[in-house]
Structure 1
Amino acid sequence: MQAFTPLEAGDPTRIGPYRVVGRLGSGGMGRVYLARSPGGRATAVKVVHDELAEDSSFRARFRREVAAARRVMGPFTAPLVDADPDAETPWLATAHVPGLSLGAAVARHGAWPEQSVRALGSGLAEALEAIHRARVVHRDLKPSNVLLAPDGPRVIDFGISVAADDTKLTTTGAVVGSPGYLPPEQLIGGEVGPAGDVFALGALLVYAATGTSAFGGGPAHGVSYRVVHEDPDLAGLPGELADVVGRCLAKDPLRRPGVPELVAELGRWEGADGTRGTFTGATWLPTPVAADAMALHTDPLPEEAGMVTAGADHPVGADLPTVGPAHTAVATARLGRPPARPSSAAHPGGWVRQRRTAVLAAAGILVVLTAVAGLLLPRVLSGPSREGNGVGGSGSTATPTVVAKQLTVREQWPSDEDLWHPVVADGKVVGEGQDGLLHAVDADSGDTIWTYDDPTASSLEGVSDGLVVASSNEQGTIQGIALDGGKRIWSVGAQAHTAPGTTFHLYLRIVVADGTVYVNALYDLPEGSEPSGRYAVSALDAATGRLKWTRPVEYGLSDALAVVDGVVYGGMWEKDGSYFYALDAATGDQRWRYRMQDRYGTEVTAIRVSGDTVYAGDSRGDLHAVDARRGTRLWTYEPDVQSAQWLEPLLVTDGMILGGTGENDSTRSPGDVHAVAAGSGKPLWTTHTEGEPEVHGLLGGSVLFSTETGTLHAADARTGKSPAETRLSPDDPDAAVVGDRVYFDGGDGRLHAGRISLTEE
């Protein structure tokens, strides 16, 4: 059984750096090919139709959608790994999923049992959670865009087909999409948001459970009429599943459940072997579908294009065309001596070196650090692999059985700017420059796009919904700056949240979510007061600066702050102990308070919310798992470390939590990377690092983490062993990643951009 067909005469043999080996299919935007990456990885490369490539409006939309899709990362999505929207024939590449589509599976084997439908829904809901977290709406979720693999479903084409559909819509004025899966609001010309994808998810579950559409068959206009005006047919669904699906298919988008709610509801499924909510082997698929999926999963890739035949009379050879420029060798570039970093006194607000918080954690996968003795930065960089110092629960140092990996970076450009704390969003890299100003450079070229010339707003807090947020402790202001153009949109002064009788002193943390600025701040009390200061967490309207609410804390407030689904999470300490809290984001009312320690002064230093669980790492080195709804303890992990705190970010992926611990001070102190079972808190492995680590994500079954010594490691995700490593500079590279692009301080006073790969030796 094969998921691909042989190449035909006229098919390209190469698309950009990818060697084409077969056909996967075609769609409304273009033809999809099976290809090998330069390192031999299987990749799906989509080449757009000629008529779209000639449309300037399509190219603009395609470029925008590619930039958005780069931010999507999740275990049930096929990530975008490469693209060239400016090629003569635009193309994009995603990770190849060797699986059959949901449409093919149902057509071939019929309706699914309830447990398989629930498992499908659980994986698809989690995929949508990752897509929406990156501020992308799929808009075309249908059976052909869901691929089935032994370890779970994969959603493909998120956001990408929108460029083609929008171009066709502009040209014809018609609604473009798949009848029966488009939500009512899209059919009547309304705005389509995440709730539209929830509608499509409900329709997919009906299709899987019954083998038919929730709104019947026949001509497209008839199906669309029933979607808008009639109730879905849920007769073939079991009662509890029918209730969930019925809410997904509500006509009013506001009445549909949120994706996190669906993740929680549908996640309570059991596989054929009795395991709960675990996509392993083929325990989640119907037996005949599982057999097909396993066969596709084990099929080898075809030979190189020059070796493949498209039938006896039509050999496919070297005379076939190439799409995009071929890969060429490039020279190395010598770096100058790095300029001195400013002292803490020179930096606005008293700058102290600190590992960069992942402001757009869903936007990136990897951070790459490479150099040769801190002096040479080759255009193609790689580091040696070696046996690691990872230790499991028993501290074993046996030779690992996994295949060693090789890290490689191909530099794209160096910029004239040296940006600290870079954040990547909408095709731009924003950061703090040596001149004390904020700058934005083009993510594709490194050219400076704008400079914000107000030195009182040089401390970058993050980027959210097209808004750059910056603060000044000296002036006490928070400013919102347009990502496009670099013009100030609003400014909020400290007086808006400073209580009578106190004086603003310091911003600890600022987060912007849903049009609201949430602030952790420290205030001074009059001289001679006991205590001398007071803390507060406050919420201000981003458009007007009006104070919505404030909640004073007498003894202490942690730096860590997170706002997720209408809830503010943070840490505080009182005279009788240290707490982790949840507040209503709209009112500031306390939802719950969880006691972490029966002692004063322990801080929450890292927060991550995943489904119904919130994870909080503290300054004593403990990691807490807390029920996000009730604030009750689920488990606490106490690693064997001393005087270390959890560092941001924490990542939750593939049923485990990945995070680093260290001192987080101005010295290069050692640290550790931990993998902990998300459901139980059981330690999986720990790896020691020479400097404080920052965990970036998974690539090819490896965990990528960097250290402040300038080194990137890739350790086996199962054991923590066999880390490949490569060096960028003798200092913290302060890197940011979107998809396979990495932006980092090269140690020569310039921001660099590169692409990375992780290949087997």
Structure 2
Amino acid sequence: MPTPLTHDDPVALGPYRLLARLGSGGMGTVYLARSAGGRTVALKTMHAGIAADPAARTRFRLEADAARVIGDRFGARVMDADPLAKTPWLATEYVLGPPLDEAVESGGPLPEQSVRALGAALCSALGQLHRSDVVHRDLKPSNILVTAYGPKVIDFGIARAIGDDRLTRAGAAVGTPAFMSPEQAAGQDHDAAGDVFALAGVLVYAATGRAPFGHGQAADLLYRVRYAEADLSGVPAALVPLLARCLAKEPGERPTTEQLAAGLHDGSGEFAEHLPPGLLADIGRRAAEVWRPAPPRLPAQPVEAGHDMVTSPARHGASRRRFLAAAGGALAVSAAAGGGVWWYRGRRAVPAGAEKKEPEQTRNLEPLWENNGSDLDVFGWGLLAPYHANGSIWLNLHAIAKRLDPSTGQLQEKMPFDTDWWQATAANGRLYLLDTDFTGNGRSMVIAAWDEKQNYIHPTSTRLEAASAEIMPNQLLCISGDVAYVAVGYGKAPEDKGFSDSQIWTLRAADLRTGRTLWNKPLPKRSGKSKRLHFLAAKVVGDRLVTHQEPADGKVHIVVRDTRDGTVLWDEPYDADGPDSLRSGIAADENHVYLGGARLRALRLSDGGQAWALRSGQAYSPPTLHEGVLYTVGEGAGLTAVDAARGKTLWTETTAEADRAYTGWRPIVGTRYAYYKNGLQLRAVSLSDHTTALTFRTTAEHFHTDTRAGLILGVDPGLISAYPLK
């Protein structure tokens, strides 16, 4: 629902008085506004910094033009626009209906008759565009508003004329991966047939509540869109053949919008007659909300005592690459171009002294499932990390691997892997692990992959010379692209297969395609009494390998290396509150790496210099970076959101239980909630109003995301549990 204006929002833009915010993001803000004559509009703006980019202004103008092409029957009517203003703005009708994704999420999948009517109407909308030689290129559930008179297609931020690629980077995949066409995913030309492919994906979502190629990381989705078959399970049987044709990989094999419409619906009856009662009721409720009094404007956020901030020089303008949004998804404010009532992932401040009441919902919900897995705390080396690969959750325990069904947590099968969790990782949907090289007489190891079809571990061509498989602390840190990063030891293994003073340890980068070792760097010796691994976490960012390295027990450093030759670029101590918390992962982007501990701070990725820091006298959990915002758990404060670029606190959760906030693991961030442990609860805090929406019973200490299955996996000794990720 709409949220209050902030103290620095304008009073009016053009002839429209601003009433409330509908949404905000990195690109701009969408407001609820009203004209002097009483017409309510959704007014979309662009941040001034982004508006300084001529290409951004051009896209903004083209968006308004495309919205006019589709017209007010199939889109949100354009009331007015000023793309040349200092703050460019676009005013459209305020559409009285929910976005399709929100309608399905709240009311469940639509019945077949609704899907057919929706699809036929969307065919007419796309046909209107295509006849004007315009393609949408980002058709998805959040860009479709469902009204009682038919759906309306919105957000034409990346629409373009057919054959016009002047504003598209060559070879770039622009759009939303889950609903892209194969040709769009490959960075090729996307024409009317591409919109038909996306429309079929939207209809699969409407009928089942999920996208036809699942969800997960962009790279995985792009691969499945191009090469995998669509998952049509749950789609009404009569619709499967038609939608399967639309989802053909070759554009020429797909029907036109006219052919698809004829196969979906005969056009009889009013659109509202085909909608379920719950959705019609929601549309009516939204219509009534339009004339509710606007919420009062928020005052300026007071400066918090003790929060001194050290900042780096301000950056001028906006990243062109970020604006073009290649392969990563839609524009940040895409959902709100045509109005409607939108949930807001925003950053609004909370007035000092304002009280927020937690919703009276079911408290302490049970996990979706639990599985008693023996020896989850493997030989003292730390709690395991589950992996999602080949459609399953894998628990790599010493000498055995368990494979769980993500939907039930039930054991699917056991595999005789002689591998532990830190010697395995998932990449590109496959499970990789360090394995014995049986041809090397105990003097080498190989990187192997699980072969799903042949049901066995298949060695790759990548052999690691001078590496002893019997040494337990060997680590497969991560895989980025075709390069694997591994820490391996060579020498005699003691009886416990741990460290010994005589072992030689190295960090290596190996090419999985050629099998060639790209570089090999020495690591410090470890005491035979040590029960700590060399590395707690690793992540590749551009041409940097960022690691949490433990050169000696209890002493953690953030060490950044050049991925091209392994050279250490910089090395800084990490004053974390316990090394185990750093197993939760690394928060970094192309400019900075972000650290918790005694201070929340940002270090420049280039040289390790401090860009900013918050000093508040409290401990922070390791942070999580999500869409330009850092989320961290503050000791005695709870969940806190911070602007990653500036180091400015955006909001802190309102809770009476902050003293129970757990800082030993980083928060998990979904699209609607951020999750963290508070006492014996996994708490889901709404990103829109910053209050606790749900809590789940948990005894877990570590939490991992399984985005493909839409799960949070909690791990504690002897038990793995699953919670919904939303």
- Scaled by the length of structure 2, the TM-score of the pair is 0.47
Flag the structure with more relative contact order, 1 or 2, with Cα contacts below 8 A and sequence separation at least 6: 1
Greater per-residue strand proportion: 1
